[in-house]
Structure 1
């Protein structure tokens, strides 16, 4: 448990020093996705699916879409 917290803290610290213009290498991306799968305790097909979605090079929306502010549509 302590080792995971140490790794998580080190990962968080490392991510703070990365500039947003630098893209992660495929290996870095895979390492991050594996860490996420470990944290969620995924195994088998669920883990494989999670890692495939995580490492895909596409932007997907996160969370609920917000309605535009202003006058309501009539």
Structure 2
């Protein structure tokens, strides 16, 4: 019995940023669910808006360079 691929809830701000960055989006979509969750949870755990924005920018930088979170 096959299982469905794991779905990761991607925050709206990350979705919007990825829509503007096709290469980063393609790399993100190729990551495992666990790797995607690493990015999304890190962004969502930010308590201050400026921290969230900084993490979003750092995430995009990493995805542009085809680096996954460790």
- Report the TM-score when normalising by structure 1: 0.32
More helix by share: 2
Higher Cα Rg, which structure: 1
